Amino acid sequence: MKLTLIRPNIGRLEHKLFVDEARMEPLALGILAALTPPDVEVVMYDDRQESIPFDEPTDLVAISVEVFTARRAYEISAEFRARGVPVILGGIHVTLLPEEAAQHADSIYTGDAEFLWAQVIADAQIEDLQPVYRAMGGVPQPGLLTRREIFSGKKYLPLSLMQFSRGCRFACEFCAVSAYFDQQHHCRAIDEVVHEIQTQSRRHIFFVDDNLLANHEAAKALFRALIPLKIRWVSQASIDMTSDPELMELMVASGCLGNVIGFESIDAHNLAEMGKVPNLSGGTDHYAEEIEILHHHGLQTWAAFTIGHDHDTPESIHRLLDFSLKNRFTFAAFNVLMPYPGTPLYQRLQTEDRLLYDGQWWLHPEYRFNYAAFRPARMSADELTELGFHCRKEFNSVKNIIWRALEPRTNLRSLYRFAIYAMYSRLFRQESFKKHGMYLGLE
């Protein structure tokens, strides 16, 4: 039997698929490959960088679907099914919208792959693929090493993706991760994480955890185990980490360069409405203290913001940009708030009749990447879209890249830190401008 794994693209620029030069390894497909019995041939194609050989013989196609890649995933599925090849769809979008996904595949898989994938392969081998496989969540990758040879020759960014945990214990209104995992947080065995790091050659690691520090004590145990490995790593984390001095010290000692941190907003009303609990302790004024702690430890922070909340105005979004530049964040994302299906935000905006694009922006032929998909409370959707682009453009201007580079405790802390900043600033500036306004899918 031959299994073909597909990582879909997001969309197109003019009439060609977008080529993502900031692409990282599709870890989920490496895990699927590892879960597949060794007597099954496995090939992987990444739609972000290479053409998919639709006419190449295969027995089963598995496509991992995210919300932004759903339209393209369905196009790919249709091509294979037209050739008589069975297709199974899985991933976060399929779990959030199984009825929709089922219209575009022979089979769908909801939940984590570890717990039923062996059954999928067994059924496919006897041509008895079931229409639905419903798996529960649990400990990631039990006894499992990612099959990284499927990434060979694909020219990904020079860092290895790993995971220690899945899910997040918080329940932010807009977050698809919270909806997917139902606020559950599961940690992998630390000795298995260490073993996986030791079995691959790279010393730069990106932990893809939704919130690596959701469990402070588990994170401390992980960091103690990482210290002897002499690696450098980044991940995603919540700002409440700064309240635990021991956690901060261990994190830095284990090789942390910085984290993506969801600040989301500097308006306390917005934070309360979205349920961003770790950011509310003491109000937003404490950001100054927390940012000082991050700078003190030399962490190169990627500040993630969402704009378009009900208390946002054009003026407040301009203040958010000023805040980001004042604090010289290494990187910052100004993401237009997205009503992801299955989230409380989506349900609320649907009830208030504020959704655009017929409520299915991820499939609508006119929706464009980074555009507002709902009617904001205090500005128009077009204004919100333009403000998002303005913030990204200003933050990534040559003048402001130089200004941020001169932050002495982070980007100028060492020649190595400066080199990291210089390389990725150029790349992210380029990709940010290229992606804006592209259509989803190819057709």
Per-residue pLDDT at 178? 75
Per-residue pLDDT at 439? 96
Per-residue pLDDT at 175? 87
DSSP label at residue 364:
-
CATH of the domain spanning 2-134? 3.40.50.280
Q: Would you list the domain boundaries of the chain?
A: 2-134, 148-440
Q: Is 88 helix (H, G, I), strand (E, B) or coil?
A: strand
Per-residue pLDDT at 228? 98
Q: Using the structure block, give the residue that is written with the tokens 């997917």.
A: 180
CATH class, 148-440 region: alpha beta
Per-residue pLDDT at 14? 81
CA distance 62 to 287: 43
Which pLDDT tens digit goes with each residue over 413-423?
Answer: 999 999 999 99
Using left for φ > 0, alpha for ψ between -120 and 50, and beta otherwise, residue 328 falls in left
CA angle 333, 338, 340 (to 5 degrees): 130
- How do beta strands 232-237 and 256-264 pair? parallel
Per-residue pLDDT at 285? 67
CA distance 348 to 345: 5
Whole-model pTM? Answer: 0.95
Per-residue pLDDT at 59? 98
**For residue 299, what are the CA distances in angstroms to 29, 187, 402?**
30, 24, 18
CA distance 3 to 144: 19
Residue type, 169: R
Per-residue pLDDT at 9? 97
Per-residue pLDDT at 279? 83
Which pLDDT tens digit goes with each residue over 217-252?
Answer: 999 999 999 999 999 999 999 999 999 999 999 999
Q: Is 94 helix (H, G, I), strand (E, B) or coil?
A: helix
Per-residue pLDDT at 23? 92
Query: Which segments in the chain show pLDDT lower than 50?
Result: none
Are 204 and 25 in contact, with CB atoms under 8 Å apart?
no
DSSP label at residue 93:
H
The sheet carrying 2-7 orders its strands as 41-46, 2-7, 60-64, 87-90, 107-110, 132-134
CA distance 283 to 269: 10
Strand partners, 64: 90
